[in-house]
Structure 1
Amino acid sequence: MKLEHYERLTKQACALIETETDFIANLSNISALLFMELDQLNWAGFYLAQGRELVLGPFQGNPACTRIPFGKGVCGTAIETNSVQRVHDVHKFEGHIACDAASNSEIVIPFTVAGKLVGVLDIDSPEVGRFSEIDEQGLTKLMMSVEKLLNSHSNVD
């Protein structure tokens, strides 16, 4: 996948949410867009911070873990460290939480609204090594653009 594809996806994502102010509706459309447009995925969606846990938010794909403590698994590590986690093989990630046995690689990107770390974008694939540096760059830029629009609406509780 090329960065140009992610630039197009970013434009699509922004067009979907630029006039909508509802946070959950916007995350729902972003997860649907990513699940539809990216190949070799079995899950794309969001976990939202509540206290020291991530709680399942809008997603597309197989049923998922409902709650993940900060610092646990790939998503919990991403929010705890406020850093992107791109994992080639989740079975080699210490403390990996197997919400879906079909997942073999994962990328997780934390995001902020109104100056507060509010959750993570989580994308899983059944393919080992599915996510490249290009995917990380493209998805990080996409989420930066989405963050700007979410911040302009900022009705997050």
Structure 2
Amino acid sequence: MFQAMPYDGTRSERFEAVLSQLGALMQDEPSAIANLANASALLKHSLPDTNWAGFYLFDGKELVLGPFQGLPACIRIPLNRGVCGTAAAERRTLVVDDVHAFPGHIACDAASNSEIVVPLIKEGRLLGVLDIDSPLKHRFDDEERRFLERFAAMVSEVI
């Protein structure tokens, strides 16, 4: 049975603990859906001031909603549309301090004010994106970006 580790260290130590927990959750689990579901739950409960954490999977044409934690979300997102579609098309992490200022932002949850989207890439192939929203503006910083890129790389290896 999985138990959350206490987070009584530096922020970087907490990030390392979450990565360790992710590895333990996914170890020997062949189901992509189970791994994505646990990964989204782990993030939602590990990152304060977030209101949505989950995945959109690339079906060869567009992004399709995958496992997540939060309110119901947009089901399909075209490439190059919104933060998720742009990050997927450009295959780069996007940190958006104010989603309302992002051209073409798709407002799935009106409470979201900032967002980070990390592409999931394996062997040069786009698998989808990791998407995290916050009700706070300027919520995500560079240290968190690096952590979430490592998190996404681990997830990409098992889906």
TM-score for the superposition, normalised by structure 1: 0.91
Query: Would you say the 8 A contact 2:50–2:135 is kept in 1?
Result: yes
RMSD: 1.3
Q: 4+ residue runs of structure 1 moved beyond 6 angstroms?
A: none
User: Do structure 1's residue 48 and structure 2's residue 57 form an aligned pair?
Assistant: yes
Where does residue 5 of structure 1 map in the other structure? 14
Q: Percent identity?
A: 53
Higher relative contact order (CA 8 A, sep 6+): 1
1-structure distance, mates of 2:98, 2:120: 23
User: Do structure 1's residue 85 and structure 2's residue 91 form an aligned pair?
Assistant: no
Where does residue 26 of structure 2 map in the other structure? 17
Q: Deviations over 1:54-93 (max 9, x none)?
A: 0000000011000000000000001000000000000010
In the TM superposition, 1:113-124 aligns within 5 A as: 113=122, 115-124=124-133
Query: Would you say the 8 A contact 1:56–1:67 is kept in 2?
Result: yes
- Give the counterpart letter for 2:63 in structure 1: L
Mark the runs of 5 or more structure 1 residues left unpaired by the alignment: 151-155
User: Do structure 1's residue 131 and structure 2's residue 148 form an aligned pair?
Assistant: no
2-structure distance, mates of 1:112, 1:13: 18
Query: Would you say the 8 A contact 1:6–1:142 is kept in 2?
Result: no
1-structure distance, mates of 2:102, 2:92: 15
- Report the CA distance between 1:145 and its aligned residue: 2.6
Mark the runs of 5 or more structure 2 residues left unpaired by the alignment: 1-9
Query: Would you say the 8 A contact 1:44–1:124 is kept in 2?
Result: yes
- Report the CA distance between 1:50 and its aligned residue: 1.3
Paired residues, what number? Answer: 150
Query: Would you say the 8 A contact 1:54–1:69 is kept in 2?
Result: yes
- Give the counterpart letter for 1:5 in structure 2: R
Where does residue 70 of structure 1 map in the other structure? 79
